[in-house]
Structure formats: structure tokens, C-alpha cells
A = this chain, B = another copy of it.
Amino acid sequence: MRDVSVVGIGQTKVKEHWDKSLRELATEAILGAMKDAHVDHADALYVGNMLSGELAGQENLGALIADEVGLRGIEALKVEAACGGGGAALRVGYLAVASGQFDVVIVAGAEKLTETSNCLTTASLAMAADGDYEAIHGISFVALNALLMKRYMHEYDLVPEDFAAFTVNSHANAVNNPYAMFRSAITVEQYKKARDISDPISVMDSAPICDGAAALVLMPTSRLNGNGARAIKVAASASGTDSLGLQDRRDPLWLSAVEISSQKAYAQAGIAPKDVDLFEVHDAFSIMSVMSLEAAGFAERGRGALLAREGQIGIQGKLPLSTMGGLKARGHPVGATGVYQAVEAVTQLRGEAGKNQVPDARVAMTQSLGGVAANAVTHIFVN
């Protein structure tokens, strides 16, 4: 397989984009990435998206967006893995370049969750869970995560405040990210006072409903010409799965898909967790950050929350997390999020993260989850 590099990145601001359609958001991100990469053509486009059918009555996004950005004719497909669709689209784009099939590939993630009522969006997000055994009983996606968080706190004797540092960190990092939705720092006191969504998950434990698009241009590392200096290598691309339904898991407090995809990725990149300089974790809910840190090998079982309490997750810490605000504060346009994470990893490895620059960042890991980590797609980038 050929080595693959990211040669261009683009993104829109994450917010409630009442004035822009999904195709406009995707176009803005893709044209930005193409300009950044100094390319005016591509061989293929892979789009990550979860809910354009349910919320906007639009499928076939691959062909739609390829045409919209002026690339009518090229291969263009949509890849879906619920909230992990962005990572999944990158995975397919990676295969298309690594295989030798294509030399210039665009990966985009685009999602517009505010197209309709929040109520319908919440119902649609539950399609990431098991429809026949979970959603049919009326449980929402946040409620499934709340069940996990409650059990986790019980099992390891924690209180909600033990999760506060993740949210405080994400918000602090978002302040300096012009593309982030919530550019406001918060305190532990504010975290503690936050309104519950689904006990014990409060608005401060949960990523917002929002819109956005992000894009990458991939090329074979061996064919980099002028843009080689800013190219960042994809050192690993891997994914794994678990049951959709929590009730089907032997051990609901362990994210097997995260473990599988992380271990595959470490093996491919030839690194260990200790070599990772920053981790764009899927912090859709605080509990997902904590459990991901454990399953990905950064913390012992039951001790993921301690990492944050010990101050290791800040920009200057041992393992900087969510360096541009993460899902919680940059925002979580679900099928786009995995691509945002990659854009941010590349920004860090290029040394272009401004006030949020992780010192001497050389190895960045991103992880995009679908469902309650029923899908986990992991990428490792190296400069």
C-alpha cells in the first residue's frame, strides 16, 4: 500500500447555519481545502454524513456535492457510520489513495442538524442506536450515554464533578478557535450549575446540535511536489465495531471498538499510546472521553477521569485533548466531526494552531465514534 498524506484542509465555522444549505457548507469547506492544497481537480470525493435524508430529504450527497464544487463526473460516494461518518469517509478516502487507484482524493464531512426541530433531530440521532431494541422503547441517544455514565460513576465511585475538567478544557481551547461554536471559557462552578438533559448528563457534558462541514485533500506521499512542506502523513487508518445495542455487550463499561481500532492503528503506525502528542477524542459526552481514554490505552480501567483531574489534558499537558475545542465546544455536526478532527490534527502538526499550539507536536491521533462506540475509526497523523 502507498503512504498517504493530507495536503489540504478546509472547514466552515460550526454554528446554527440558518442561512446556508448543506451543499453550500460542503462547498465552502471543499473549495477551502482545494485552495489550501493548490489543486484544482480531484479524482474522487467521499462524503461523511448521517442525517441529510431524514432531516433534509436528500440522499445521493456524493454526486450532489461533487457537481456543486465543479467536479461533476468524478467518483463520488457517501459513507455512513452514524456520528462516526466523518472518520469513515476518511477511511475510504485513505483506501482509495493507498490502493494506487487515485492520486488526488477529497474527503468531506457535512451535516446540517438545525434543518428542522430539535425534537426531530433528537429522534433522528437515536438512529445511531439499535432501532429494534433500544430506540423503539423511546430512549434517546443522550439517555443511553446517561445510563453508561451513571453506571460508571457507581462502579468507580465518582461524582459528576469528576468529569468537569474535560468540559472546562474543551471550552478553554475553543476560545482560540475561530471555527468553534462556543468560544467561551467556563468554570467548574458553571459546570456544576448546568441544567440536566438526562441525569447525570447536563448540557455541559453534551455536545451541541449544530451545522458544519470540513474537508481534506489526500495524495500519495510519494507524489508530493510543491506542497510537500506542509503535507502531513497519515501514519495509520483503522476501524473496529461493537454491538449497536448496549444490552448486547458483555461489558458495557468497556468500549471494545475503541480498543480494536486503537490497537490496529498503533500497530500500523509503529507507536504506543505514550508516543501520541495530542488526541482529538470523540467527546460527544464526557463519559465517552473518559471511556475512550481507557479503551485506547491512555489510562487504566476506571481511571480515565483522573487524567483530567491531574491536569494532563491541557495544551501543555502530557496528553492534550480536544485541542481546538472538541465536539463539546467546537461543536458536533455529527457526520462532519471526524473530518474536523483530522483538520485540527493537521493544523497542530503543521504548527499552525496559534495560541493552542501543542509544543513540538509530531504525532496526533483522532477518533471518530458512531453510536455508543458501535463504530470507532482511528487515524494517526505524523509530521
- Interface on A for B, CB 8 Å cutoff? 1, 21, 23, 50-51, 53-54, 56-64, 66-67, 72-82, 88, 91-92, 95-96, 98-101, 123-124, 126-132, 135-136, 238-244, 248, 256-257, 260, 370-371, 374-375
Contacts and interface: CB of A to CB of B under 8 A. Distances in A.
Nearest to A126: B57
B374 A63 contact: yes
Contacts of A80: 59-62, 77-80
Contact of A95 (B96, B239, B260): B96
A238 B66 CA distance: 16
A101 B98 contact: yes
Given A57-B126, A75-B241, A76-B241, A62 B375 contact: yes
Chain A contact residues: helix, strand, loop or mixed: mixed
B56 A53 contact: no
Contact of A21 (B51, B132, B370): B132
Given A95-B101, A101-B1, A375 B73 contact: no
Contacts of A57: 123, 126-127, 131, 135-136
24 contacts: A1-B99, A1-B101, A21-B132, A57-B126, A58-B130, A58-B131, A58-B132, A59-B128, A60-B81, A60-B127, A62-B241, A63-B242, A63-B244, A63-B257, A63-B371, A66-B241, A73-B260, A76-B375, A77-B375, A78-B79, A80-B80, A95-B99, A98-B99, A98-B101
Nearest to A45: B241
A371 B123 CA distance: 27
Contacts of A241: 62-63, 66-67, 72-76
A92 B73 CA distance: 18
